[in-house]
Every structure is written in structure tokens, then in C-alpha cells.
Amino acid sequence: MRPFGIREQVLFVALAPVAATALTLILYFTSLRYDDVETSLIKRGTTMARQLAPAAEYGMFSGNIVELKRLTLAIAREADVSAIAFFDRQGRVLASTGSLRSTWPSNRLPDNWMARSSDDRTLFFHVKVIQTSKTIFNDPFLQSESAIQSGEQLFLGSLMLELSREPLLARKREILLVTLLSAGIILAGAALLAVRLGRDITMPVQALEDAVARIGKGEMSVRIAPHQAKILRALEEGVNAMAMDLDAARVNSDRALATSQAELSQQHEFADALLQAQADAGVCMLLMENYRLVYINDAALAHSGYSREESLALTDLRPFLQSHGEILQGDGLAKPFSDTESTHRFIARFRCKNGERRFFDVATTRLSKADPLRVVVIALDITQRKQDERQLASVNIELRKQKEEAERANLAKSRFLAAASHDLRQPLHALALFVAEIKERSNSEEQLRLARQINAATISLMELLDALLDISRLDLAETKAHRQALPLQPLLEAATEPHRCGAKGKGLKFSIRPTKLWGESDPQFLVRIISNLTANAVRYTQTGGILLGVRGQGKQLRIEVWDSGVGIAPEHQPYLFDEFFQVANPERDASKGLGLGLSIVARLADALEHPITVRSWPGRGSCFAVTVPRATPPAQRPVSTSLIHPPQLTARILLLAPNNETVEELTDLLRNWGCQVTQSAGDDDMPDARFLDADAILCTSTHLKYLPSSPETRRPPLILLANETGDITSPPLAGKLHYPPRPAQLRALLQHVLG
């Protein structure tokens, strides 16, 4: 039997209460109407019989049969009367009309008696006719003298009235028909109303059911048209979204299945080739009963050099194996007969009949536990493999040597790259200083435009050199991470501040989810990681926004960078952290980046031991996350590192650097910013007053030795201009920049230190 559908169920739910109520009311009111008409007929028959008895008193008393006949004819004309008869005191019929169905003797029936016929189609009413008035004459045939004188009631006879129930039954059928017809009309109206109102539910549900069934059959292109009632709009949209996701998942699954099938086919071909090679090599098989050889195949005979007769003549293999074999790995043949485990494996070396020693990989399986103990031995000749292993070990030694040579060459390359990048940075920084001074002294729009173009080209080249220098430093492990507990909120703000203008210029919504969490990391490394990830997000996001936040995961924290950019296809994600890899820049446009940012991120994360994870959805965006250990804030919180609005540069600066053109340009740049600059090469005997008067000291790494060594001397904030790639021993620093410094970085650091 087919189960009810949603339409039938909704119709049932709507009509069941109505039908139950209608049935109850039908039964109740029909029963009432039946009782009413039944009672009415009985009352009518009783009333007619009682009224007819006094009317027949005179006719019975006088024996006037004609009068009685007239009464019967008059009563017979009444509705429902089927027969009437008058009886004397002995029960003899005096007058009657109709066909009497009563068989009871009238003289034995009580007064006001009523009964039904056996077929329930006739009602019988019996009433006695009694003389109640006094008689004024003497009649010796009717009564005695004493009765007349006393005035007692005198029994004259009786009458039997029969009423037909056929009209009553017809009336009942009519009542039932009208009631059922009314109920049917009501139920039909309710059904039509339920069907009409139920369409708003059944039609969307049936559409959903049909869509789900078609999706189950593999039709992922099915989409549900929204119903005008909008009752199940959320479910319809959810099913459509599910169908789209399933369609995308099916495409990915088909692609993965095709790849898996290709790999499986290759593996199958490889397995066939391997099995064929094993068959060609020959697999030895033996069957033993209690160390007695009962079966040996041709491959085993060919490898051992013994004949079948010589082999089967051995009643106990143990002495033979001890003299001809050597167990190199495992327990040998004794284990399968004594151990509870049924399968064992070991490596053995066997001396053949011709004296040749061959290696075998042996597997044993016990077939029975009862006596006799049967063991199957399968042996594979691995002599060639052992020889190959020895050759492979020799090759590995040679490859290890070549690898060490390659690593030394790579290290030399990295050192050369670091040195070359550093040597190139000095003229570029000098050029940047020249450009900054040109911009300060430009008087025309054309000069400003040329200065901006030169500055943009210089910055692009400097970024490339900085990236190459950072990579070489990380490869050389000269830049070491110093992990410490630090607040993440100011770090996020500092890392993303340089990219807010770029995001604002593209109309992107840039936001940072506030956090009070602390993590354990190197602040410079972590700022560089987050800055590079944010730069990538701004570069590849055209509409929407960028969100940074921190999620807690037990003892770990995830710093996440979300964007609504173009996304990254799954096949490109494994190569994201390779050098110079760019998905959307095949023409190598420098304005779209160099492809080194994520490579630096990966190296910094490895140095910090911070895992990097990527989740991306093509066309929807990406999420890059770096996981750092959770840290506990110290009892005394450090000074906030959030950005401060810088004041004007009117400070006194002491510049300890060699006398050259670069230092002269740097001095002019500082003076153009409003600073009072005192420059010294350190070869003169500088009094401590210079240090006391200065608001900040700029010192190269080669001039640290000229700083006052007296601990009593108050030292202003020291900014180190380092041109070395390794660690430098120096006093406490307020900041550190590459030498020569970039103007923007130097100005920002001075504003921070002097603020």
C-alpha cells in the first residue's frame, strides 16, 4: 500500500477534526430526532386510544354496533392508523376496520397496554372501555342491583388501536438522508477550503520533495522556484543553496574521482607489472607437517638446486636448515609450531646445493592447531634486492655528499645575495634621500610629478632588494627570533596601519576585531607576517572588505586575516609560499607585487614555529591564519605601542656617522624636517655635553665605540643605523634601521621616539 503523501496528510489533518465533529453532531441530533418522532407517534397513539374509549362507552353499553362501526371508520381515516377494533368483555370483536395484526386476547390485556409487532412495523395500543356515569334504569343483563345502587365503574369491553410505523421509518430515513446530505455538503466545503488553503503548504513541500528526489537521483541542476505564499521561502532558498553546494561538490568529486581513477589505473598497472616480475622471479612454496616437508613447488626446487625426491626425503627440516640456513631477522621456523599466533615473517640466508648463498623473505602461516601441525611456507628470493640495497647505500652516501655540496653552494649563494643586496641598498637609499630633498625643493607641478615617479621606481626596487635580503637572512639563519609575551591588539594596529590608505583608496571596509589576548612571539617577525598577509589581502580584493581578528583555541591563538577577494583555486594553494609564485600576474607586473611576500611569511613562521593555514573559496575570498601560543599578561602592563599622532620635528639630533655623501644627504634631510643636527665622525674627542644636549642619537654600527661608556652619563634615545646582517652587540636601543635609512621609516621612528 502506497503511503499517504503530504497533500493527503494535510487534507487529513484539516478534515479529521471537522469530520469527527460532524459525525458526533450527526449521531447526536439524529438520535434526538429519532426519539422525537418515535415519542410523538407513541403519544399520539396513546392519546387517540384514550380519547376513543369514552366515545365508545355508549355504543358498547347500548350494544349499538353501528355507532361503533362509525367510530372505527372515523378513526381509520387518521394518519398512521392501520387497524382498530372494539371487543366486548369476553374478547369478541364488536366492530373493526383494517386488518388486525394483534393476536393477544383482549380480555386478558391490562388497561393502557402498548406493544410492538415482531417486525417493528406496528404499534399496538389497548385501552379498556369503562362506564363511569350512574345508570337511571335497571338492566338485569348488564349489572346487578347492588352495583347500580353503589355507582361503581363497570367494565364494558376494550378497544385495540394499531398504528403503522412505516411513515415513521420513512421520516427517519428522510431525516438521515437530509442530515447526511448536509454533513456531506459541509465536509465538501471544508475539503475545498482545506485544499485551497493547503496548497500554500503542500505545493512548496511537494516541490521540495520532488527537488530532493531529483537531487538524490543526481540532477544537481535542479532549482526550486519560490512559491508566492512565501511560507517556506527559507527552506526553498536553503535547498537551492544545498543543491548549488552539492553541484560544486559533485564537480570536485568527479574531478577527484577522475584523478583517483587515473592513479588507480597506474597503480593497477604497476601491481600487474610487480606480480609479473614476482612470477618471473619465482615464489617458493612449501608445506610442512611437524617439520616434515610434504610439498615443494618447482620455484623452490629451482632456487635450492635439490631434486624433489631429495627434498621430500627430509623427515625433519631443523637439522638441514641449521646447517644450510641463517636467520637474519625474525624467529625462524620454530615459532609457527610453538607460538599461538598463526602468521610469522622473517629474513633468512640459505646456502644452495651449488654453494651459492641467497636471501629469502619468508612468511609462515599455520593451517591447523591439532596434530599434525601443518604450516605453509612462502619464500621470496630477495637476493637481488639485497644487492640493490648495498648499491643504494653506496649511492646514498654519494648523494649525501652532493647534497652537502649543494647546501654549501646555496649558503654561499645566500651570502653573496645578502652582500650584493646590501651593497645595492646604499646607493638606492642615497637616491631616496635625493628624491626626498627634490620633493621638498620642487617649485612646479612637473618637478613634483617627476619626483613622485622617481620615488615610486626607487621604492619598488628597494622593496625587491629588501625582500631578497630578508630571504637571504632567513636562509642564513642570521635573523634570530626572540619570542616574548606581547599584546596582540597594538601589534595588529601597527602591522596594518601602512595598508589602511590603500584599502580606503579602493573603497574597501577595513576593520580589526578588538582583542585583549596576549600571545608569545617575536614582535618584529609577527608584525612582518601580519603586514605581508594584509598587503596581499588589500592587493587582491577589489570589493567588500578586510577583517583581522584573533580566535582562542585552548592554549593556542589564531590570528586570522579575512578578505572578500578573488580567492585561490585548490590546485594553486600548495604553491602559494614558493618564491615568485603569483596566480593572477603572469605578465609579472611589478605593481601587483613580486611574489616574495608569502615566501617571507613562510620563512618567518618556520623561524617562529608558528603554523600557517590557508582557506580559500574562489570568487568569494580567503582566510590566512597564523597560530601562536597563548601568553599570560605580565603583572605590570607595558606602555601601549599604539600609534600616536606625531608632533613637529624640532629636536636636537646627534649624528655619529662617517663623513661621506650619504651622511651629508641625511644631514640635509633632517635639517629640512626642522631638526638641529650635529654630525660627528667620532675621530674627535667629543665631550659628554653633546650627548646631554641631544634629544636623540643616530649612530651607525661602526661608531658605537664612540658612545660614552660611563654609566653615570645620561644617554638620550639611541637609534642604530646598522649595515651588518648579523647580530650586533649594542647598548639598549630605542630603534634600529638599515643604513642608509629610508626617509619615511626614519621620520616615523623619530616621531615615535620623540613623541
Residues 9-23 have pLDDT tens digits of 667 776 778 778 878
Within-domain flag for 249: no
Within-domain flag for 184: no
Within-domain flag for 661: yes
Helical residues (DSSP H) of 548-704, grouped into ranges: 597-608, 661-672, 688-693
Strand pairing report for 545-553 and 509-512: parallel
Residues 344, 326: Cα–Cα separation, whole Å: 16
Residues 518, 633: Cα–Cα separation, whole Å: 6
Judge if 461 and 562 occupy the same domain.
Answer: no
Higher pLDDT, 715 or 701: 701
Query: Which position has the grid cell 646607493?
Result: 427
Within-domain flag for 21: yes
Q: Provide the 3-class DSSP secondary structure of residue 33.
A: helix
Question: At 445, which CATH number?
Answer: 1.10.287
Residues 602, 592: Cα–Cα separation, whole Å: 20
Per residue in 200-210, pLDDT tens? 666 777 677 77
Question: At 163, which CATH number?
Answer: 3.30.450.20
Judge if 122 and 41 occupy the same domain.
Answer: yes
Judge if 464 and 498 occupy the same domain.
Answer: no
pLDDT for residue 683: 63
User: Residue 725 — very low, low, confident or very high, per pLDDT cuts 50/70/90?
Assistant: low
Judge if 472 and 492 occupy the same domain.
Answer: no
Residues 311, 178: Cα–Cα separation, whole Å: 106
Judge if 507 and 555 occupy the same domain.
Answer: yes
How many domains, the chain?
5
Judge if 377 and 411 occupy the same domain.
Answer: no
Within-domain flag for 256: no
Cα 606 to Cα 90, 127, 481, 627, distances in angstroms = 132, 121, 10, 11
Residues 643, 489: Cα–Cα separation, whole Å: 12
Within-domain flag for 425: yes
User: Which among 85, 53, 65 is positioned nearest to 155, based on CA atoms?
Assistant: 53
- For the ranges 97-111, 203-217, 418-432, the maximum mean pLDDT occurs at 97-111
Per residue in 483-515, pLDDT tens? 889 899 988 988 888 788 888 888 999 999 999
Q: Which of the listed residues 446, 478, 510 is the one where a domain comes to its end? A: 478
Judge if 23 and 159 occupy the same domain.
Answer: yes
Cα 375 to Cα 308, 347, 349, 382, 751, distances in angstroms = 19, 17, 20, 22, 86
Average pLDDT over residues 595-613: 82
Within-domain flag for 336: yes
Per residue in 37-89, pLDDT tens? 888 888 888 888 888 888 888 888 887 888 888 888 888 888 888 889 888 88
Q: Which of the listed residues 478, 506, 526 is the one where a domain comes to its end? A: 478
Judge if 658 and 516 occupy the same domain.
Answer: no
Q: Provide the 3-class DSSP secondary structure of residue 83.
A: strand
Cβ neighbors of 428 (< 8 A, separation 6 or more) are 458, 461, 462, 465
User: Which among 703, 593, 604 is positioned nearest to 654, based on CA atoms?
Assistant: 703
Per residue in 562-587, pLDDT tens? 999 888 888 877 777 766 556 555 44
Cβ neighbors of 326 (< 8 A, separation 6 or more) are 348, 349, 350
Average pLDDT over residues 438-451: 74
Element (H, E) at 93: strand 93-98
* C-alpha cell at position 523: 614582535
Q: How many CB atoms lie within 10 A of CB 561?
A: 23
Backbone angle region of 81, left / alpha / beta, with phi > 0 → left and psi within -120 to 50 → alpha: beta
Per residue in 119-147, pLDDT tens? 888 889 988 888 765 444 445 554 444 44
pLDDT for residue 396: 86
Within-domain flag for 601: yes
Residues of the domain holding 711: 652-754
Q: How many CB atoms lie within 10 A of CB 184?
A: 11
Give the count of alpha carbons within 13 A of 99, CB side only: 2
Instruction: Check: CB of residue 82 under 8 Å from CB of residue 164.
Output: yes
pLDDT for residue 470: 60
Q: Is the bond leading into 740 cis (omega within 30 degrees of zero)?
A: yes
Cα 593 to Cα 364, 452, 590, distances in angstroms = 63, 19, 5
Q: Is the pLDDT of residue 529 over 50?
A: yes
Question: At 675, which CATH number?
Answer: 3.40.50.2300
Judge if 441 and 410 occupy the same domain.
Answer: yes
pLDDT for residue 382: 83
Strand pairing report for 518-521 and 484-487: antiparallel
How far is C-alpha 251 from the geometric centre of its chain's CA atoms? 19
Query: Is 0.75 surpassed by the pTM of this model?
Result: no
Judge if 81 and 122 occupy the same domain.
Answer: yes
Q: Is the bond leading into 372 cis (omega within 30 degrees of zero)?
A: yes
Judge if 373 and 499 occupy the same domain.
Answer: no
User: Residue 474 — very low, low, confident or very high, per pLDDT cuts 50/70/90?
Assistant: low
Q: How many CB atoms lie within 10 A of CB 263?
A: 10
Q: Is the pLDDT of residue 605 over 60?
A: yes
Q: Is the pLDDT of residue 637 over 50?
A: no
pLDDT for residue 64: 83
Judge if 437 and 334 occupy the same domain.
Answer: no
Q: Which of the listed residues 445, 478, 511 is the one where a domain comes to its end? A: 478
